[in-house]
Amino acid sequence: MAKLSPVEERLNAFRRQQRMQAGSLIITVFGDVVMPRGGSIWLGSLIQLLAPLDINERLIRTTVSRLADDQWLDSQAHGRRANYALTPAGLRRFEEASRHIYAAHAPLWDRRWRLILAVGEMDTRERDRVRKALFWQGFGMVSPGCYVHPSADLTAAFDALMVEGLADSLKKLMPMVAAESRFGPSATDNDMISRAWNLDGLARAYIAFCKQYQPILEFLRTNIRAATNGADALLLRILLIHDYRRLLLRDPELPAVLAPRDWPGQRARLLCRELYLRLLAPSEAYLDEAMQLADRSVPQALPMLSKRFQADDVLTESA
């Protein structure tokens, strides 16, 4: 039996999973594949694109219906067919995430900390929901009710809490921007960082990501023809961004002056960037043939796609 390539090994490893969060993967597909082609896809086309990953039609239909109930997706009927698109709230949330996922480098730091303070009474369940929602935006918790981030957009952070159904909690939270001041022997930035984030755990996750995808990149560097298989390129692109997104959304993206020495997050970013750009052309060529709207038309790629992982300080998805 011929040895499997690293690409085939990664795809097969995903297919062998005992448990898979279909909702999270489908959100990745909408953000990475559907958004830059107008934001809508026919449900049947989504099913066909994901079928090679052994995700069955029933699971996709059930998951899409649940995402619509949760205000992530909207359905648009066209006769007996339906397109699905991100809702305005879902779109805002993914646009903000995209600014980080597809950036060529970590955000620059203005040496000010973003704080969110809980100043109103919350029961245990509400506090836990706020904490988890901010955790997935990269905020660390310095002490109960005090969340910190080096560069987050506080307006976007509050918008994301609204998307999570926490609109009633906003009046109990106070956003602040704080500059460091020193008065003799006091706690340092590093003291706060070590308390707010589990960087050792995040570093291990980044190292595992690099260990998984580096052999794939090296294989594609030396096997140009392997990268032209559009179907596999699309599936690998989806899994790459899915895995990277899950890491990055809980990463505070500390500036170099604050990050631990030899921080693996930067290595993971560069790896993801090169691999993504190698997969982009063949996967997009495949989408030109395989992706459809309910009226059987093929949505065309928008200029935003060419901006991903380019060296702009700010990336937007509005082009």
Predicted confidence band of residue 313 (pLDDT cuts 50, 70, 90): very low
66 plus 127 within the same structural domain: no
Task: For residue 46, give both structure tokens.
Answer: 């989504």
Residues 164 and 227 both lie in one domain: no
- Domain limit, last residue, from 45, 72, 88: 88
Backbone φ, ψ for residue 2 (5° rounding)? -65, 145
Residues 44-84: pLDDT tens digits? 999 999 999 999 999 999 999 998 888 889 999 988 899 99
Is residue 99 domain-resident?
Answer: no
Domain count across the chain: 3
Q: Percent of the chain scored above 70 by pLDDT?
A: 92
Same-domain check for residues 125 and 170: yes
Is there a single domain that holds both residue 216 and residue 269?
yes
266 is a domain residue: yes
Model pLDDT, residue 256: 82
Q: Are residues 22 and 84 in the same domain?
A: yes
**What mean pLDDT, rounded, does the chain reach?**
88
Identify whether residues 56 and 124 lie together within a single domain.
no
Percent of the chain with pLDDT over 90: 58
Sheet with 173-179, side-by-side order of all strands:
140-143, 146-149, 112-118, 173-179
β strands within the chain, DSSP E: 40-42, 73-78, 81-86, 112-118, 140-143, 146-149, 173-179
Q: What is the pLDDT of residues 255-306, one digit of tens each?
A: 888 888 899 999 999 999 999 999 999 999 999 999 999 999 999 999 989 8
Is residue 130 situated within a structural domain? yes
Is 184 a residue whose pLDDT tops 60? no
pTM, entire model: 0.86
Q: What is the pLDDT of residue 181?
A: 59
Tell me the CATH number at 137.
3.30.70
Same domain, 145 and 80: no
From 45, 73, 88, the end of a domain falls on 88
Query: Does residue 101 sit within a domain?
Result: no
The CATH number of residue 46's host domain is 1.10.10.10
* Domain around 135: 112-179
Same domain, 175 and 203: no
Q: Are residues 174 and 220 in the same domain?
A: no
Q: Are residues 52 and 124 in the same domain?
A: no
pLDDT for the residue 61: 95
Does residue 116 share a domain with residue 79? no
- Per-residue pLDDT for 90 more than 70? yes
Structure tokens at 308: 């991903």
**Does residue 186 lie in a domain region?**
no
In a domain, 158, yes or no: yes
Count Cα neighbours of 239 within 13 Å in the Cβ-side half-sphere: 24
Higher pLDDT, 89 or 175: 175
Indicate whether 81 belongs to any domain.
yes
Query: pLDDT by residue (tens digit) across 218-259?
Result: 999 988 676 668 999 999 999 999 999 999 888 898 888 888
Q: CA 180, CA 55: separation in Å to the nearest integer? A: 49
CA-CA distance, 146 to 318, in Å (whole number)? Answer: 33
Q: Is residue 118 part of a domain?
A: yes
Q: What mean pLDDT comes out for the span 108-130?
A: 92
